[in-house]
C-alpha cells in the first residue's frame, strides 16, 4: 500500500470557495490521504461544511479552533498529522486531480525530500492572472546542492509558497510557521531547503491559486505586510551567515531591493517614505554595492528621485521649447515612445520616424518618450495646440493583454479629444473574463468622444473586432510598421550558422517548458549549434532615442548571423523577415503572430508551425536548404493616410 499523505487545509471565512477546494483534494487519484480541515474560528458556514465532509469521508479530520491566523492553523494540522508526507492547500484554491500522484511519483523515483510543481494564479472564472515581473515556471530538475536550491528560490515562480509542494514529514519535526506573521512561508523556506538532501521539480501546472478581493495576497501594502516580509528576508540573511553560506546573502539583498521597489510603487509608501529612506534603503544600497550589484545604483536613484525628476523635467522643458522653435506648425507629436528594453517597440518607433522622414515631415515631428510623458502630461496638455496632430506608437497594446499600455493610450485620447489622433498599427485583444467587458465599454466611450481618431490594426482578427465594436472611429488595416524597415536594412549577410531560439517566458508565451526543452534536446542530438536570445534586453538605464538605432542594429546583426530563427515573439518573426533570416514561427494566445504571418506568407523563407510538435521536423527540413531570402514590400496604406494630412 502506498504511504499516507496528510493534506492540511487552513480555513477562515471562505464558505463560497471551500467546497471546490475540498472536492479537488478528495478527488485525487492518489487515494491514501489524511485530509485535515483546520477551521480557524470562521464566523460563516465553514464549520458546518467541514463537519459535513467529516461525516461523508472517513479520510477527513476536522479541527475547530479560535482564530489565530494562517500560521496557527497550519501548525495545528502539523501537530496531529499522521502521514509520512505533508502537503498544504489554501482553502480558496483548488488542485489538479493528479497533483499528489505526480509529486509522490517524483519523490519515490528520486528519493528526494521535497517535490515542487508549478502553480497558476487565476480569477473566479479560471482565467489566468499575471503578476508583475512574473518569474519563469519550473522545469524538470533534481537539485542536491543547497546553493542551487536557494538560487531556484529566486529565479523561478512559486518556490517560496507553502502549497504546490509535497514534503517528507521529517522536515517539520523542529520547524513550525511563525504565529501572527504575514508572508509566513518566506520565514521557513530557507530552513526547509537546508534540511533537504535533495529536491525535485515537476514542470506540471497542478495548483490553481485564486486571486480575489479580501484574500491575504490581494490586500494592499500596509505597515504589517512590509515589516513582516522584511523581517523574513533579514532572518534569511542571518541564517545564511550562521550556517556558513555568506555568499548567498546577495540574493537576500536582492529580495529586499525588490520589496523596496514594490513598496515605492504603492500608495502606502507616501505615508512611510521617511522611515524607509533614512535607514533601510541606505543599508540595502551599501550591501548591494559590496556585492558589486548595479541594483544599488537604481535604488539610489529611486530614493533620490525627486531632485533627479526635477532635473529631468527641466531638461525636457528645454528640449520641448527648442524643438517647438525649430518645427513648423501644425506640429506632429509622437507621444509616449518606449524607453524600456523591448526592442520590438523600439523598432516600431524607429520605423515611424523613418516614415515621417520619407514624407519630409521630420521638421514638424516632436517625439516625447514614455517617461517624459508621464512626468509632464498635464503640462503638455497646455502646450499642445488644437491644430497639432497626435500620433501614438503601434504595438500590441489595445485591450486587456497589457492593461497599463491600454490605459496610457486611453489617457492620451481623453486629454487631446479635440486634436487629430492617429494610432499606428496595433493588436486589439480582450481576454474573456473579469473586467474585460467594462474596459471595452470604457474604451468605446472614450474613442467615440474623440473628434478625429484613426486607428490602424495590424491583424485581421483585431481589425474585425474593432469594426464590430468601435463605431465612429476610422479604422485602417495595415501590417506592423516595423515591417517597413525591410528596405532600410542593407549590407551583406554575415556567415550564417546555427539556430537562434527567440522564445518568450512571459504571459504571452505559447510553448510550454517541455516543448522548449524538446527543441533544445533535438538540436543537441543532431549536433546543431544554437543560442537563446530575446528581443527584450535587460538594462538598468532607459534606452534613449539616441541609443535606439545602435541597440536595434546590434540585435539585427545577431539575427543575420543565424541560419534559422525559431520564435513565438512577434518581433522575432518581424526581425527575421526584415533581415532575410529563415524563420519558423509559432502563434501565441492573442493570435498576433499568425496575423503578422498572413502579411508575409509570400516570403518562402518564413514558415509557420501550426503545432509545436512540428517545429523539430521544420528545423530538420530547413537547416540544409538554400532558401530564397526575398524582401517584403510594405503596403502604402499608412503612408497614404499620412500624406492626406496635407501639411
What does the pLDDT look like over 362-420, one tens digit per residue? 889 999 999 889 888 888 988 999 999 999 999 989 998 888 899 999 999 999 999 99
The pLDDT value recorded for residue 11 is: 96
Between residues 630 and 556, which one has the greater pLDDT? 556
What does the pLDDT look like over 312-321, one tens digit per residue? 777 787 888 8
Are 431 and 461 in contact by the 8 Å Cβ rule? The answer is no
Between residues 459 and 375, which one has the greater pLDDT? 459
Please determine, for residue 214, whether its predicted confidence score (pLDDT) is greater than 60.
Answer: no
The pLDDT value recorded for residue 423 is: 97
The pLDDT value recorded for residue 496 is: 85
Please determine, for residue 284, whether its predicted confidence score (pLDDT) is greater than 80.
Answer: no
User: What span, in angstroms and rounded, lies between the C-alpha atoms of 153 and 141?
Assistant: 13
Please determine, for residue 115, whether its predicted confidence score (pLDDT) is greater than 90.
Answer: yes
Q: What are the E-state strand segments in 350-507?
A: 365-369, 389-392, 395-399, 420-429, 452-457, 474-477, 499-502
The pLDDT value recorded for residue 302 is: 63
Give me the mean pLDDT over the 512-538 stretch: 88
Residue closest to 481 by CA, chosen among 364, 591, 349, 569: 349
The pLDDT value recorded for residue 23 is: 96
Give me the mean pLDDT over the 324-353 stretch: 91
What does the pLDDT look like over 287-320, one tens digit per residue? 666 666 666 666 666 666 656 566 677 778 788 8
What does the pLDDT look like over 404-456, one tens digit per residue? 899 999 999 999 999 999 999 999 999 877 678 889 999 999 999 999 999 99
The pLDDT value recorded for residue 51 is: 95
212: enclosing H helix or E strand? none
Residue 273 burial (CB count, 10 A): 15
**Residue 532 Cα distances to 31, 116, 286, 558, angstroms:** 42, 26, 34, 11
Instruction: Report percent pLDDT > 90 for the chain.
Output: 57
The pLDDT value recorded for residue 540 is: 63
Q: Distance from first CA to last CA of the chain, Å, rounded?
A: 82
The pLDDT value recorded for residue 140 is: 86
Mean pLDDT for the chain?
A: 87
Give me the mean pLDDT over the 603-617 stretch: 88
pTM for the model: 0.65
Please determine, for residue 261, whether its predicted confidence score (pLDDT) is greater than 90.
Answer: no
Cell of 329: 506648425
Confidence of residue 220 (pLDDT cuts 50, 70, 90): low
The pLDDT value recorded for residue 224 is: 82
In the numeric block, the cell 489595445 is attached to: 398
The pLDDT value recorded for residue 492 is: 55
The pLDDT value recorded for residue 592 is: 81
The pLDDT value recorded for residue 306 is: 53
Which of 366-370, 456-460, 515-519 has the lowest average pLDDT?
Answer: 515-519
Helix, strand, coil percentages for the chain (3-state, nearest 5): 45, 20, 35
The pLDDT value recorded for residue 174 is: 93
Confidence of residue 589 (pLDDT cuts 50, 70, 90): low
The pLDDT value recorded for residue 299 is: 65
The pLDDT value recorded for residue 256 is: 78
Residue closest to 623 by CA, chosen among 495, 556, 526, 532: 526
The pLDDT value recorded for residue 351 is: 96
Q: Is 123 exposed, middle or buried (0-12, 13-18, 19+ CB in 10 A)?
A: middle
Residue 366 burial (CB count, 10 A): 18
The pLDDT value recorded for residue 512 is: 76
**Residue 503 Cα distances to 118, 500, 508, 588, angstroms:** 19, 9, 10, 11
Which of 152-156, 231-235, 325-329 has the lowest average pLDDT?
Answer: 325-329
Q: Which of 335-344, 426-435, 486-495 has the highest mean pLDDT?
A: 335-344
The pLDDT value recorded for residue 206 is: 93
Please determine, for residue 212, whether its predicted confidence score (pLDDT) is greater than 90.
Answer: no
In the numeric block, the cell 516543448 is attached to: 515
User: What span, in angstroms and rounded, lies between the C-alpha atoms of 129 and 218?
Assistant: 12
The pLDDT value recorded for residue 321 is: 83
Chain centre to alpha carbon of residue 24: 28
Are 494 and 559 in contact by the 8 Å Cβ rule? The answer is no
Please determine, for residue 77, whether its predicted confidence score (pLDDT) is greater than 60.
Answer: yes
36: enclosing H helix or E strand? strand 33-40
What does the pLDDT look like over 125-162, one tens digit per residue? 777 777 766 677 788 889 999 999 998 888 887 788 99
Amino acid at each position: 500500500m502506498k504511504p499516507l499523505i496528510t493534506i492540511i487545509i487552513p480555513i477562515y471565512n471562505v464558505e463560497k470557495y471551500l467546497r471546490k477546494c475540498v472536492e479537488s483534494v478528495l478527488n485525487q487519484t492518489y487515494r491514501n490521504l489524511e485530509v485535515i480541515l483546520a477551521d480557524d474560528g470562521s464566523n460563516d458556514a465553514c464549520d458546518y461544511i467541514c463537519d459535513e465532509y467529516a461525516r461523508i469521508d472517513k479520510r477527513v479530520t476536522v479541527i475547530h479552533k479560535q482564530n489565530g491566523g494562517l500560521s496557527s492553523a497550519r501548525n495545528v494540522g502539523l501537530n496531529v498529522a499522521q502521514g509520512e508526507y505533508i502537503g498544504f492547500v489554501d482553502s480558496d484554491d483548488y488542485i489538479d486531480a493528479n497533483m499528489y500522484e505526480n509529486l509522490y511519483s517524483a519523490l519515490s523515483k528520486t528519493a528526494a525530500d521535497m517535490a515542487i510543481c508549478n502553480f497558476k494564479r487565476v480569477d473566479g472564472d479560471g482565467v489566468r492572472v499575471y503578476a508583475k515581473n512574473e518569474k519563469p515556471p519550473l522545469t524538470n530538475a533534481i537539485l542536491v546542492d543547497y546553493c542551487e536550491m536557494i538560487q531556484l528560490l529566486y529565479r523561478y515562480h512559486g518556490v517560496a509558497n507553502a502549497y504546490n509542494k509535497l514534503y517528507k514529514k521529517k522536515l517539520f519535526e523542529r520547524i513550525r510557521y511563525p504565529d501572527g506573521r504575514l508572508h509566513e512561508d518566506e520565514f521557513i523556506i530557507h530552513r526547509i531547503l537546508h534540511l533537504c538532501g535533495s529536491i525535485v521539480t515537476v514542470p506540471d501546472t497542478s495548483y490553481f491559486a485564486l486571486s480575489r478581493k479580501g484574500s491575504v495576497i490581494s490586500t494592499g501594502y500596509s505597515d504589517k505586510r512590509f515589516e513582516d516580509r522584511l523581517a523574513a528576508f533579514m532572518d534569511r540573511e542571518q541564517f545564511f551567515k550562521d550556517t556558513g553560506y555568506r555568499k548567498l546573502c546577495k540574493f537576500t539583498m536582492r529580495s529586499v531591493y525588490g520589496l523596496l521597489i514594490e513598496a515605492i510603487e504603492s500608495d502606502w509608501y507616501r505615508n512611510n517614505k521617511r522611515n524607509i529612506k533614512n535607514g533601510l534603503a541606505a543599508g540595502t544600497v551599501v550591501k548591494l554595492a559590496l556585492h558589486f550589484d548595479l541594483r544599488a545604483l537604481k535604488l539610489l536613484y529611486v530614493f533620490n528621485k525627486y531632485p533627479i525628476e526635477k532635473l529631468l523635467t527641466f531638461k525636457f522643458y528645454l528640449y520641448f521649447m527648442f524643438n517647438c522653435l525649430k518645427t513648423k506648425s501644425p506640429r506632429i507629436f509622437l507621444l509616449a515612445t518606449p524607453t524600456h528594453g523591448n526592442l520590438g517597440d523600439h523598432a516600431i518607433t524607429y520605423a515611424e520616424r523613418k516614415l515621417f522622414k520619407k514624407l519630409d515631415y521630420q521638421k514638424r515631428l516632436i517625439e516625447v518618450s514614455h517617461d517624459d510623458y508621464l512626468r509632464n502630461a498635464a503640462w503638455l496638455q497646455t502646450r499642445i495646440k488644437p491644430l497639432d496632430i497626435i500620433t501614438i506608437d503601434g504595438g500590441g497594446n489595445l485591450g486587456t493583454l497589457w492593461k497599463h499600455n491600454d490605459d496610457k493610450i486611453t489617457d492620451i485620447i481623453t486629454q487631446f479629444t479635440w486634436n487629430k489622433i492617429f494610432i499606428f498599427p496595433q493588436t486589439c485583444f480582450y481576454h474573456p473574463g473579469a473586467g474585460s467587458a467594462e474596459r471595452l465599454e470604457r474604451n468605446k466611450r472614450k474613442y467615440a468622444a474623440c473628434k478625429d481618431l484613426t486607428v490602424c490594426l495590424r491583424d485581421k482578427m483585431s481589425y474585425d473586432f474593432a469594426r464590430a465594436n468601435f463605431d465612429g472611429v476610422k479604422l485602417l488595416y495595415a501590417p506592423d510598421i516595423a515591417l517597413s524597415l525591410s528596405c532600410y536594412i542593407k549590407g551583406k549577410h554575415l556567415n550564417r550558422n546555427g539556430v537562434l531560439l527567440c522564445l518568450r517566458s512571459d504571459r504571452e508565451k505559447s510553448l510550454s517548458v517541455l516543448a522548449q526543452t524538446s527543441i533544445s534536446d533535438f538540436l543537441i542530438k543532431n549536433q546543431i549549434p544554437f543560442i537563446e536570445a530575446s528581443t527584450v534586453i535587460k538594462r538598468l538605464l532607459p534606452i534613449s532615442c539616441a541609443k535606439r538605432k545602435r541597440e536595434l542594429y546590434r540585435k539585427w546583426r545577431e539575427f543575420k548571423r543565424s541560419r534559422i530563427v525559431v520564435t513565438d515573439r512577434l518581433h522575432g518573426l518581424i526581425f527575421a523577415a526584415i533581415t532575410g533570416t529563415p524563420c519558423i514561427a509559432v502563434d501565441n494566445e492573442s493570435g498576433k503572430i499568425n496575423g503578422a504571418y498572413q502579411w508575409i506568407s509570400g516570403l518562402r523563407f518564413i514558415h509557420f508551425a501550426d503545432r509545436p510538435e512540428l517545429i523539430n521536423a521544420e528545423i530538420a527540413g530547413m537547416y540544409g536548404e538554400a532558401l530564397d531570402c526575398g524582401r517584403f514590400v510594405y503596403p502604402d496604406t499608412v503612408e497614404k493616410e499620412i500624406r492626406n494630412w496635407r501639411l
